[in-house]
Structure 1
Amino acid sequence: MELTLYLFIAAVTLVPTVAVLAIGARRLLGLRIGTVRAALTGLVAMGAGALIGAAMGEARRGALVSVHIGLTVLVAVVFLALSHALVPAGSLSEVVRWPQAVRRRVARTRRYTELSRIAIRHGLGGALRGRGRGGPEAVAERKRLAAGVRLALEEAGATFVKLGQVLSTRCDLLPVEFVEELTKLQHQVPAEPWADVERVLTEELGEDPGVFFAEFDREPLAAGSIAQVHRARLTTGEEVVVKVQRPGARSVVDRDLDILFRMSRKLEEHTAWGRDFGAVDLAAGFANSLNEELDFRIEARNMATIRAASERTEKASAVRMPHVHGELCTRRVLVLDWLTGVPLNAAGALIEERGLDRTGMARQLLEWILEQILIGGVFHADPHPGNIMLLEDGRLGLLDFGSVGRIDRVLRAALRNLLLAVHHNNPVALSDALLELVDRREDIDEIRLERALGRFMARHLTPGVRPDRKMFADLFLLVARHGLTMPPEIAATFRALATLEGAMEQMVPGFDIVAEARSFAAGHLERELNPGSIGQVLAEEALALAPMLRRLPRRVERITDALEHGRLGVQVRLLADERDRRFVRSLVHETLLTFLGGITGLIAVLLLGTDHGPVLHDSLTLLQLIGYNLLVVSCVVVTRVVFGIFHAQRRLPGR
């Protein structure tokens, strides 16, 4: 009974003491910490306090009790600062869940080893160690390296193939040799066994597939890294295509994305080019896009959005989209109407046999995509020839809406202005439109940019010169050289147009996609400038300006009255931005803490060196006691200042 009572009293005393020490250390350092770190901090401080008390002997109960408490708090502060520096926030939660963490680490290590072997097998070992050649051999070296990167990405799996496909659109980030190689990326994988496909269908639909499908072809029409496609017939009689996600696709993608995020953070922390590229932001954007592709409900919504936007345009009937059976669509299953036709990359003979107008079909498809981009704001981002079909009725059909692009009204207007500037061969207007599209620096030299754009237009947009993919590559390179960054939405737009150019080339060799886009933009502007449209635009603008116009006479009267009586002045508020005020406050705070810590320590040393004053215990005087306490306070303050400096340094961009 006495032992139980003793343990109860010890527990009641221990918990508040641990909490007080942890909270005090956290407040002194200005940190937010978790329960595990707080408990460790309090326990370590209590243990250190017990050792310090034993070393101090009976003095800890008398005059030096304040010093004992101060040293215990100092230990808590130092431990918390060191633990936060060595084990960043969030890491301790993994310690608690160590079995799962160990399994993830083992799986990650195996994947790292596998990726390293793939890279070395394809001759990328020297590049990973930072070795490279310069001079005349640099171009040949880049071509060899680009081919190795493509082969390595194909072998690494679906996530890395899709990463390469995304990077193939970033001509502003990669040399042209890499862009050309990455556009060739393909990834063929064997089909999943029917038993696994049937299990996924049953899990997603909630019942046996036979309840919904009268027939289901067990052999897939196509098998990709994330999903495979089967032909089927519903019990209601409709012929459909069923897209089924591979059972392990989500876990594989999550594992590889975890590795990509870690690699991107390392690149941004330790390399200048990683910071210039914005490696973490690039990885985050890629992860968001890939996670959308893993949820087929998003693809179904994309199709509904594009269909609705297309119905409001002039080319609504030019291209057909499959109907979505929404009642059968889930996260891992997508059911679409069957479109009878031939993929565009195999339709050459059929086009000739039917005598179809190749140029007219190509122009209709291009204008349909441009209307999605410039008017609807939602567009198919991957219109390669395999996703385009020639249907039985002579129309074109578009498949696979897992990858779509979205651009807002401001960017759509800037894109139209860009095309009009190209159409009128005006480098000044092209510069203005380009600056509206990109993320610009404050110190951009606009005159130099206009001259560079003038040379660009003279090289690629003069009569007799047919624009091609190199024009897009040169434009992205020009943007990068002037310190501008292309937003991902615009990069996706140019990627879609560059991909569409390949499809156009198969239909009509020599098809000038840039000239057609220029004509489309000019025609769209002419339609907007008809009397009816101008009247509608003026009416909308007048309604938006009406509240301001009503207030304008009163404000003009106040200004003229103040000017007449000599009371007109201009008020400028210093530090109006909260970020500026926060910076000044932190600077003053750290300066005062540094001054106080140094002064307190100096006073403590002076007091400890004196023998005057009343004696409290043995040879300890009152002034020395004050000196000991001030020295502890000085150590706490100095620890706080040093920790604040290193903590702020770690949070700086690019570190």
Structure 2
Amino acid sequence: METAVTVLAFLATMVVSVLLFAAVIRRLLGVRVGPVRTLLAALLAVFVAAPVLQALAPPDPTSLNAGELVLIGLVAVVISALLAMAALVILEVLLPTGSMPGPVELWRGTRRRVGRTRRYATIVRIALRHGLGRFLRGRPAPGPSSAAARRQLGRSLRAALDEGGITFVKLGQLLATRRDLLPAEIVDELTALQDRAAPVAWAEVSAVLAADFGRPVEEVFAAFDHEPLAAASVAQVHAARLADGTDVVVKVRRPGVAAIVERDVDILLRLAGTLEERTSWGRPLGLRALATGFAAALHEELDFTIERDNLQSMAAALADSPDRGVLVPTAYASLSSERVLVMARLDGTPLGAATAVLDGLGEDRRAELAGGLVDTMLDQVLVHGIFHVDLHPGNVLVTADGRLGLLDLGSVGRLDAATRDAIGQLLAALGRRDSVAVSDALLQVVDRPAEVDERELQRAIGALIVRYAAPGTTAGAAAVAALLRTLAAYGLGVPPAVAAVFRAFATLEGALGLVRPGFDLITHARAAGTRRFAEALGPDRLRGSLEDELAALLPVLRRLPRRIDRLGDALEHGRLRVNVRLFADDQDRRLVTDLLHRALLTVIGSAAALVAVLLLRTGDGPRLSGTVELFPLLGYFVLIVGVVLILRVLVVIFRRD
């Protein structure tokens, strides 16, 4: 019993001592230190305190009075705390706070890392199976030199992406729209990627519906077709009927698809970041930004509440525009959720299979529908700022009454007012075939480098206008691809929202070719841009624009005389001062801070090295053990600290990215 009490008393003393040391160390350092690091430093101080006290005390401790014992004990505590603080600083230098996860995060991270490793192995096997292994080497692989070789590479890449699953299929579909990044032969092959999958069993679909509705499917719908109308990698669509007899379609997200996408997107983001940091071509392309935009778009596609809101916004935009024979299905918000979307069913035929229906409409009506589809897209881009980014034939429906329905609004583009105005100016300049105005409009919507040869850009744009904007030209997708290649050649980055506009019009050409073969997209868009620019300069619109500008300027004009009077009074009485804020820019502050940190590290490291030399040249000092003296130990310790600090400065100086 007495032994147990002694052990408990010892443990309690140790705990109290550790906590006291931890509080003192955190207080003296003056910065927030993690609890684990603080406790480790306190334990070090506790274990070091006894040898330090023993080294400081004389051979016969009984010869000391109480005051001397307290003083020696206090010195030992201070030295122990300083050693623990120095250990903390060295640990912070070698292993900064936050660089190591906690136990829970470490366990979760290990599980994720194991899952990623397995997925990496699967991806590598798929790449090797399709002959893409040479592109996985550390050194750059030579690209295909002929059109046939590029086409074969495109087939291999398409097959590998198709086998990779949903995320890689979506990535391939996105790459198929970036003709500024990939050769035409590869883009053509990637365009053939189809987002298809085997249907999910009804039992799993029913479980998802019941969980989201909070009741059985039979209580929500009067009828529900268990066989899907279509099945894709993200969701599948079923036909159903509401209790009031309204025919609807129900889009259900596939169970488990979110976890798969999250895992693969994490891999793509890591890969994009690595390529951007370690390759000469990754940074100019902005691979991290491309991957981030792709991840955001894919996450939006998984959340059906976003598509529900997009449907409602697009319906409001179409209602606010002239009727051009284009409509979108009505979303039932009360029955929709993140995994389920209920929409009114449009009675019609997919555009790719609607040849007979279109032939029955006549050439004039087909031309009217094609023009209405282009004008609707222009309304979405230039007026409302929300537009369908992927109007391929599979997302366009021909209704029984000869109208066009837009489907799959899971991912839409959004433009701010300034970008809409710049794109409107671009279309108007194209209508006038003014290469200077086209270049100026483009420079407003792209990310330009510090220097760009605007005259050469104007010449290149002029050549494109002569080639693709001539009357009768129908190569809309080729014109967009040539424009994007020209922008890339001059180092101009295309923001994702603007790239979505180009992608939308390039994709639209395929649908227009089915609605009205031979439809001239470029001529129609050029004429529409000229017409809209002229309408903007009309008396009614011009008056409204002037009124809006005047309303915005009126508060400024009202305050202007008072401010001029204050400036004049201050100037007259010698009180006018100009205050310039130094280092207002974040980059300037970071530069100065980095320079100061390096200078301080150099001074502290040099001082530590000098102190270490002095300690090593001094006498042995108190003995910590039979063979270890205090001063040499401190000297070597301080020398290590100085060398580490100086090496940190040198590695920054000599390192080349």
TM-score band by shorter chain is 0.7 to 0.9
Instruction: Please state if 1:517 is matched with 2:525.
Output: yes
Instruction: Please state if 1:526 is matched with 2:534.
Output: yes
Instruction: Please state if 1:249 is matched with 2:257.
Output: yes
Instruction: Please state if 1:8 is matched with 2:12.
Output: yes
Shift of 1:609: 2.7
Q: Which moved more, 1:17-26 or 1:322-331?
A: 17-26
Instruction: Please state if 1:393 is matched with 2:397.
Output: no
Q: Which amino acid aligns with 2:346?
A: L
Partner residue of 1:199? 207
Partner residue of 1:449? 457
The answer to whether the 8 Å contact 1:212/1:234 transfers is yes
Shift of 1:500: 0.9
Shift of 1:530: 1.7
Partner residue of 1:366? 374
Equivalent residue runs for 1:30-179 within 5 Å: 34-36=34-36, 38-39=38-39, 43=43, 45-46=44-45, 49=48, 69-84=81-96, 89=98, 91-93=100-102, 95-97=103-105, 99-129=107-137, 130=139, 132-133=141-142, 137-179=145-187
Shift of 1:452: 2.1
Instruction: Please state if 1:281 is matched with 2:289.
Output: yes
Q: Separation in 1 of the partners of 2:282 and 2:298?
A: 21
Q: Which amino acid aligns with 1:3?
A: V
Q: Separation in 2 of the partners of 1:151 and 1:162?
A: 13
Partner residue of 1:338? 345
Shift of 1:369: 1.4
Partner residue of 1:434? 442
Q: Separation in 2 of the partners of 1:467 and 1:312?
A: 31
The answer to whether the 8 Å contact 1:310/1:376 transfers is no
The answer to whether the 8 Å contact 1:42/1:76 transfers is no
Shift of 1:41: 5.7
Structure 1: tracts of 5 or more residues without a match: none
Instruction: Please state if 1:422 is matched with 2:430.
Output: yes
Query: Percent same amino acid at aligned positions?
Result: 43
Q: Which amino acid aligns with 2:351?
A: L
Distance 1:610 1:205, change over 3 A: closer
Q: Separation in 2 of the partners of 1:539 and 1:395?
A: 38
Instruction: Please state if 1:595 is matched with 2:599.
Output: no
Q: Which moved more, 1:639-648 or 1:486-495?
A: 639-648
Classify the secondary structure of the residue corresponding to 2:208: helix
| Superimposed CA distance per residue, residues 460-508 of structure 1 (whole angstroms, 9 cap, x where no aligned partner) | 2234543331211111111111111111111111111111111011222
The answer to whether the 8 Å contact 1:378/1:404 transfers is yes
Classify the secondary structure of the residue corresponding to 2:101: helix
Q: Separation in 1 of the partners of 2:50 and 2:402?
A: 89
Distance 1:618 1:625, change over 3 A: closer
Q: Which amino acid aligns with 1:530?
A: G
Shift of 1:581: 3.6
Equivalent residue runs for 1:183-262 within 5 Å: 183-262=191-270
Classify the secondary structure of the residue corresponding to 1:137: coil
Instruction: Please state if 1:350 is matched with 2:357.
Output: yes
| Superimposed CA distance per residue, residues 243-300 of structure 1 (whole angstroms, 9 cap, x where no aligned partner) | 1111111111111112112212221222222222222222221111111111111111
The answer to whether the 8 Å contact 1:423/1:518 transfers is yes
TM-score, with length taken from structure 1 = 0.87
Shift of 1:577: 2.9
Distance 1:251 1:440, change over 3 A: same
Classify the secondary structure of the residue corresponding to 2:228: coil
Equivalent residue runs for 1:397-416 within 5 Å: 397-416=405-424
The answer to whether the 8 Å contact 2:252/2:339 transfers is yes
Shift of 1:446: 2.0
| Superimposed CA distance per residue, residues 288-320 of structure 1 (whole angstroms, 9 cap, x where no aligned partner) | 1111111111111111111112222224x5212
Q: Which moved more, 1:636-645 or 1:341-350?
A: 636-645
Q: Separation in 2 of the partners of 1:488 and 1:649?
A: 37
Q: Separation in 2 of the partners of 1:465 and 1:120?
A: 43
The answer to whether the 8 Å contact 2:469/2:523 transfers is no
Distance 1:358 1:245, change over 3 A: same
Distance 1:295 1:545, change over 3 A: same
Shift of 1:17: 2.6
The answer to whether the 8 Å contact 1:419/1:517 transfers is yes
Distance 1:302 1:188, change over 3 A: same
Q: Separation in 2 of the partners of 1:646 and 1:425?
A: 55
Shift of 1:373: 1.0
Q: Which moved more, 1:16-25 or 1:402-411?
A: 16-25
Equivalent residue runs for 1:548-567 within 5 Å: 548-554=556-562
Q: Which amino acid aligns with 1:344?
A: L
Equivalent residue runs for 1:301-316 within 5 Å: 301-315=309-323
Instruction: Please state if 1:469 is matched with 2:477.
Output: yes
Q: Separation in 1 of the partners of 2:463 and 2:596?
A: 51
Q: Provide the alpha-carbon RMSD of the alignment.
A: 3.5
Q: Aligned pairs, how many?
A: 634
Classify the secondary structure of the residue corresponding to 1:92: coil
Distance 1:138 1:557, change over 3 A: farther
Shift of 1:641: 6.5
Classify the secondary structure of the residue corresponding to 1:272: coil
Q: Which amino acid aligns with 2:243?
A: T
Equivalent residue runs for 1:631-646 within 5 Å: 636=641, 639=644
The answer to whether the 8 Å contact 1:600/1:631 transfers is no
The answer to whether the 8 Å contact 2:618/2:631 transfers is no
Q: Which amino acid aligns with 1:325?
A: Y
Classify the secondary structure of the residue corresponding to 1:300: helix
The answer to whether the 8 Å contact 1:324/1:335 transfers is yes
Equivalent residue runs for 1:255-270 within 5 Å: 255-270=263-278
The answer to whether the 8 Å contact 2:169/2:193 transfers is yes
Classify the secondary structure of the residue corresponding to 2:179: coil
The answer to whether the 8 Å contact 2:611/2:638 transfers is no
Q: Separation in 2 of the partners of 1:568 and 1:10?
A: 66
The answer to whether the 8 Å contact 1:66/1:629 transfers is no
Q: Separation in 2 of the partners of 1:633 and 1:202?
A: 68
Q: Separation in 2 of the partners of 1:138 and 1:48?
A: 72
Shift of 1:405: 0.8
Q: Which amino acid aligns with 2:104?
A: V
The answer to whether the 8 Å contact 1:604/1:626 transfers is no
Shift of 1:339: 1.0
Q: Which moved more, 1:32-41 or 1:371-380?
A: 32-41
Distance 1:75 1:145, change over 3 A: same
TM-score, with length taken from structure 2 = 0.87
Classify the secondary structure of the residue corresponding to 2:169: helix
Shift of 1:395: 1.0
Q: Which moved more, 1:236-245 or 1:448-457?
A: 448-457
Shift of 1:541: 0.8
Q: Which amino acid aligns with 1:5?
A: A
Distance 1:257 1:561, change over 3 A: same
Q: Which moved more, 1:593-602 or 1:396-405?
A: 593-602
Q: Which amino acid aligns with 1:346?
A: A
Q: Which amino acid aligns with 2:87?
A: V
Q: Separation in 2 of the partners of 1:243 and 1:648?
A: 58
**Bigger RCO of structures 1 and 2 (CA < 8 A, at least 6 apart):** 1
Q: Separation in 2 of the partners of 1:297 and 1:308?
A: 17
